Structure 1
Amino acid sequence: MVTQKKAFSQKNITNKRSGEVRISRFKSKSQVLKQKLIYVYCPDERELEIGAIIDDYSFDIIVNNYDIENLDSKVICHFESSRLSLEKQQFLVEATELGAWVEPLVSYLDSRFGYTEVKLLQNGYFLHQKAFSILSTKRTQLAKRIIDVFSSIILGLITSPIFLLTAIVIKLESPGPIFFKQKRTGQYNIEFDVYKFRSMRSDAEKDGAQWASKNDARVTRVGNIIRKTRIDELPQIINIIKGEMSIVGPRPEREFFIEDLEKQIPYYRFRHAVKPGVTGLAQVSYPYGASVEDAIWKHKYDIYYIKHHSALLDFKILIKTIKVVLFGMGR
């Protein structure tokens, strides 16, 4: 439910607070993220848009209410605050002084949901490169590369029996090559050949490129098993060694589909600022899907990953991926 109240005056900004400074009763960020009501401040013409995006969330919002008497322990989020008048910006500053929790709306939703609401993104979000450690810190990139190479070698040694068995059963079940090679778009929009175990009939795309679906008739019996357990992705160890992919990152997509998706999904190509991954946050957080709506949801997780990348996040994704492999909860 969205409540809108646009009353505003200079008197309400000063509010006769007598210089009183209060201390927020929030003891932790977790309390902030559990609030059932938050206040959002944005340019008047964006109110309905903000309300439409947040209307399905599990909390209520009040938009542009500058008549709040007690700001202590209120959660206040702002959107496009640079476009607010100086008086309204001052209200947000004073809210911080008087005990409110104040932060950008996108950042708050990031923390609350673990994904980025891409409909709220603007150019400025991506222009602060230093806020993206994975993009701005060479040490982070070098560490990730070292981990990628080391992990892929260890993974290759451990899974070599599975590698051999999979190759045999694929060859026995259906005619065609064991491996499947396909052009995908990687970092900096550079195309490369991604390697996979073949999980479909060799004539799967005789009628042209098409989305893979959950119960795709083109998938073989062996293919169905190796797709669910992600065994079909194992040959991408080659791509990691070559430096084209990482263990963790956004999944690489085909240029044929990207050209269509970028017309419908804001900043879709930003995922190419980093190396694509064998597994990723979207793969362990969102169920299998093969539609534009599914691509939008996966993009939310991919943007979140790029923004909040850390070694700990990579580790959590890998643990969840192992669960997928062990219990067959993949696509």
Structure 2
Amino acid sequence: MLGKRIFDIIFSVLVCVFVLSWLTPLIAIIIFLESGENIFFTQERIGRFGKPFTIYKFKSMKGVPPVNDPLLSNDEKNRITKFGKFMRAYRIDEFPQFVNVLLGEMSIVGPRPERQQFLDKVIAKIPKYKEMQQLKPGITSIGQIKYGYADNTSQMLKRARYDLIYLDNLSYWTDFKVIFDTIKVVFKGTGK
């Protein structure tokens, strides 16, 4: 949808200019003081039509995740920093993904981008989920609002089922409702 792409670009430019421009240096200082590590976390995720892309986030964990043994957030809770917990609660760690939106790899609203190993598990249990790959992955989704970071495979499957509701109800109205609900999560700090 051309209108959706235009909205994504305008919204992302506004966020980059009016939020990321001052937020990024501030986050960089706090992350460096707390852990002495790089500000950004990057990871390969699967996008539209199964095409891999690099997702960007503010780093909320110490160290480097295992490459050949992908873990869910529950398996890595001991690596989450204090500031990382704060960023996750308010979804601040997700803000660099507006760059992914500008690059055309993501949309503001869409299914949560997964790693290939977990995407395969979801599709094995819910074959219809393969249809989600017709859409660009999103910074936020119905499943992300309901579950946030999936702590285990069971939650990932529940989140996937909510995202299928989005697939069946594609509209500008649905996108605005998801964005509004996400803003409520951000301001309340109820994300996980």
**Conserved in 2, the CA contact under 8 Å of 1:196 and 1:236?**
yes
Deviation for aligned residue 1:329: 0.7
Paired with 2:172 and 2:86, the residues of 1 have a C-alpha distance of 30
Residues 267 and 165 of structure 1: CA distance in aligned 2, closer, same or farther (over 3 Å): same
Instruction: Summarize the alignment of residues 279-298 of structure 1 with structure 2, pairs less than 5 Å apart.
Output: 279-286=140-147, 288-298=149-159
Query: Paired residue for 2:138?
Result: 277
1:147 correspondence with 2:43: no
Paired with 2:180 and 2:13, the residues of 1 have a C-alpha distance of 18
Q: Which has the higher helix share?
A: 2
Instruction: State the structure with bigger RCO (CA 8 A, min sep 6), 1 or 2.
Output: 2
**Aligned partner of 1:222 among 83, 89, 95:** 83
Query: Paired residue for 1:258?
Result: 119
1:231 maps to amino acid: I
1:150 maps to amino acid: I
Query: Paired residue for 1:319?
Result: 180
Query: Paired residue for 1:169?
Result: 30
CA shift digits 1:202-250 (9 cap, x unpaired): 2343773111129811101111111111110111111101100000011
Paired with 1:250 and 1:214, the residues of 2 have a C-alpha distance of 22
Q: Percent identity?
A: 39
Paired with 2:59 and 2:91, the residues of 1 have a C-alpha distance of 12
**Conserved in 1, the CA contact under 8 Å of 2:61 and 2:84?**
yes
**Conserved in 2, the CA contact under 8 Å of 1:204 and 1:218?**
no
Residues 175 and 205 of structure 1: CA distance in aligned 2, closer, same or farther (over 3 Å): farther
Number of residue pairs the alignment of both structures matches: 191
Query: Paired residue for 2:104?
Result: 243
2:144 maps to amino acid: Q
Paired with 1:205 and 1:226, the residues of 2 have a C-alpha distance of 22
Q: Which runs of 5+ in 2 are unaligned?
A: none
Residues 175 and 295 of structure 1: CA distance in aligned 2, closer, same or farther (over 3 Å): same
Query: Paired residue for 1:180?
Result: 41
Paired with 1:227 and 1:291, the residues of 2 have a C-alpha distance of 17
Deviation for aligned residue 1:275: 0.3
Residues 309 and 226 of structure 1: CA distance in aligned 2, closer, same or farther (over 3 Å): same
Residues 301 and 273 of structure 1: CA distance in aligned 2, closer, same or farther (over 3 Å): same
Q: Which runs of 5+ in 1 are unaligned?
A: 1-140
1:330 maps to amino acid: G
**Aligned partner of 1:302 among 157, 163, 177:** 163
Note the aligned Cα RMSD (angstroms). 1.8
TM-score, normalized by length of structure 2? 0.92
TM-score, normalized by length of structure 1? 0.55
Paired with 2:27 and 2:75, the residues of 1 have a C-alpha distance of 21
